Copies of this chain bind each other. A is one copy, B any other.
Amino acid sequence: MSRVYNFSAGPSMLPQAVLEKAASEMLDYQGSGQSVMEMSHRSKTYQAIIDEAEALLREVLNIPDNYKVLFLQGGGSTQFAMIPLNLKKNGKADYVITGQWAKKAAAEARKYLDVNVVASSADTTFTYIPKLDPATFSKDADYFYICLNNTIYGTHYSPEQLPDTGDIPLVTDASSCILSEPMDVSKFGLIFAGAQKNMGPAGVTVVIIRDDLIREVPETVPTMLTYKIHADNGSMYNTPPCYSIYMVKLVLEWLKNDIGGVEKMHEINKAKAAKLYEFLDNSKLFKGTVEKDSRSLMNVPFVTGDKDLDAKFVAEAAKAGLVNLKGHRTVGGMRASIYNAMPMEGVDALIDFMKKFEAENA
């Protein structure tokens, strides 16, 4: 067996120790005589798994008691509808458009309420986080929506760039940065994240929602798209994606015990990203595409400026065991997604390969 360094934007690498543990428990979870996939979700054994996943997430992210943690299905795209359907009161929401996912979220919200686009970085194909002017914020918005880390474009809100929305709940898509850095959860009304970048496999979406935002909704809202239903039933209104939640538990155990928590993870992520950005800033061939104050620690897009050379790079890198480096189809070039599970060795291997490629193609 020869494992590759997988720079996919998601689904992406999982810690090898987590995969080994999952494989070892596949036929018999802790002496139960069953795979986690085979367990009744109403069994005590499975209840302990989902409870532990929630407890670990609360611990590593320091989630306050007045927030519920939900394990849902349907990905971020389902959240794009659930958020307006559940949070609508006055019928207006503010959105900052920093990429395709924020744009899709706003488009879905427009089905249900008035969307005020506070700012956008579409003018430069989303290479920066726009400066926000509180004077443009709606006074009576039901919520204020941002995408915290933009997977496709490689931008990320620094703490200084986060808007102060006062009493208006700040809602964020944290799919591609959750668990990569400490978060002050109390600054948000609702945080959601698909698992398939930093938390586990695709198929489960975590929603962290402040109690007061869990409300009765109009009867026309589908039951399964109602936060209150899932909150009242401990994410077990119907059969949850049991195995994906178990994998999240394993990843959280790794993050806590092997890495030492989110602060430690953040230090490692900063060191990994710094190496790669430093190389890009000094390279004669490769160039990062994002403004420095908006750079993501997780997704690093770069180009050579020559499409054919980009394609050659992606193909040769794959042969060298550095896979999925092709940029998103809407951007082109390359993108290295270096999530939590990507070890420093993977980043070093990428930089070494880029140096070699640069020397050969100068």
In the complex the two chains form, what is the Cα distance from A1 to B129 in whole Å? Answer: 53
Determine whether A242 belongs to the interface, using a CB cutoff of 8 Å to chain B. yes
Q: Which B residue sits closest to A197, measured CB to CB?
A: B239
Q: Which listed segment binds B: A38-46, A141-149, A290-298, A300-308?
A: A38-46
Residue A6 lies at the interface, judged by CB distance under 8 Å to chain B? yes
Out of B14, B28, B43, B108, name the residue touching A1 (CB < 8 Å): B28
Find A38's partner among B11, B74, B76, B111 (CB 8 Å cutoff).
B11
B33 with A220: CB separation less than 8 A:
no
Interface residues in A, total, Cβ within 8 A: 68
Q: How far is the CA of A224 from the CA of B27 in the complex (A)?
A: 34
SS of A interface (majority): loop
Counting chain B CB atoms within 10 Å of each CB, which of A225, A237, A247 scores highest? A225
Whether the pair A3, B33 counts as a contact (CB closer than 8 A) is yes
* Contact assessment for B14 and A28 in the assembled complex, using a CB-CB cutoff below 8 Å: no
Interface check A121, CB cutoff 8 A: no
Q: Among A16-24, A206-214, A309-317, A349-357, which stretch is in contact with chain B?
A: A16-24
Q: What is the bound-complex CA distance between A97 and B38, given in angstroms?
A: 29
A56 at the interface (CB under 8 A from B): no
| Chain B residues closer than 8 Å to A222, beta-carbon distance | 78, 81, 85, 108, 111, 222, 225
In the complex, whether A35 has a CB less than 8 A from a CB of chain B is yes
Is A127 close to B, CB under 8 A? Answer: no
A198 at the interface (CB under 8 A from B): no
The reply to whether A111 and B219 contact each other, CB–CB distance below 8 Å, is yes
10 pairs, CB–CB < 8 Å, chain A vs chain B: A8-B38, A10-B40, A34-B323, A77-B224, A81-B224, A108-B222, A111-B222, A201-B241, A202-B241, A225-B225
